[in-house]
Amino acid sequence: MNFAMEIANHCSPALAGIKPANLISYSSATCCSIAEYLVYLAEQLQTARIFFRLLQSDRHHRLCLVYKERILQKHLSRPEVKHELALLGYPTDADLEAMLDHLAKRFKVADSFPHEIAYFLGYPVDDIKGFVVNDGRNYCLNGYWKVYSDPEQAMKSFRRYTLCREAVMRRLAGGTALENLFR
């Protein structure tokens, strides 16, 4: 699978603006090639306000957040999301860049994976809290995330994300360049 297909496979809902953000992880072995492609893609998608933010980088892999600025900003300003992130020490009255800086810092200093990334990815607050309280167990549905509160609504979201990904993958397979789909 080429880089465009890989990004589309993991990030189509965020690129299309139906999800606040997605993550893409890639190995250090392919780092230079993917990093170059991400720089190119970021330049091409800048007018659509789609950004790629490196959150974590070590000898073995890189973790990048893909987001549409307006969608992520709107999601993070929701009162229930803002409240939960404030409890975790995030500068919720600051701009998006400061919030992302704080998240990237958490990846560097946290003893374990910072599960608050789920707030940035648009997971429902009740499901995030359920995951933390249950230590990732006792969920009622597992799909794009572990569901604890509203499986019917989650299934609708899962279906929407899957249909989006499949549509983007079909367009790429048909010869359309990824950057031309989201400008």
Tens digit of each residue's pLDDT (9 = 90 or more) over 84-124: 999 999 999 999 999 999 999 999 998 788 999 999 999 99
More confident residue, 25 or 162: 162
Check if the beta carbon of residue 83 is closer than 8 Å to that of residue 110.
no
Lowest mean pLDDT of 26-30, 127-131, 151-155, name the range.
26-30
Provide the pLDDT confidence category of residue 1 given band limits of 50, 70 and 90. low
Tell me what the pLDDT averaged over the chain comes to. Answer: 91
124 residue type, one letter? P
Q: Which residues contact 178 (CB under 8 A, 6 or more apart)?
A: 4, 7, 8, 15, 41, 168, 172
In the numeric block, which tokens belong to residue 110? 């946290």
More confident residue, 43 or 168: 168
User: What's the rounded mean pLDDT across residues 50-70?
Assistant: 89
Tell me what percent of the residues of the chain surpass a pLDDT of 70.
96
The whole-number pLDDT of residue 47 equals 81
- Dump pLDDT digits (tens) for 35-57: 777 777 778 888 888 999 989 88
Provide the pLDDT confidence category of residue 73 given band limits of 50, 70 and 90. very high
- Tell me if residue 63 falls in helix, strand or coil: strand
User: What's the rounded mean pLDDT across residues 144-157?
Assistant: 98
Q: How far apart are CA 46 and CA 119, in angstroms?
A: 24
The whole-number pLDDT of residue 25 equals 87
* Residue 177 scores a pLDDT above 60: yes
User: What's the rounded mean pLDDT across residues 160-166?
Assistant: 98
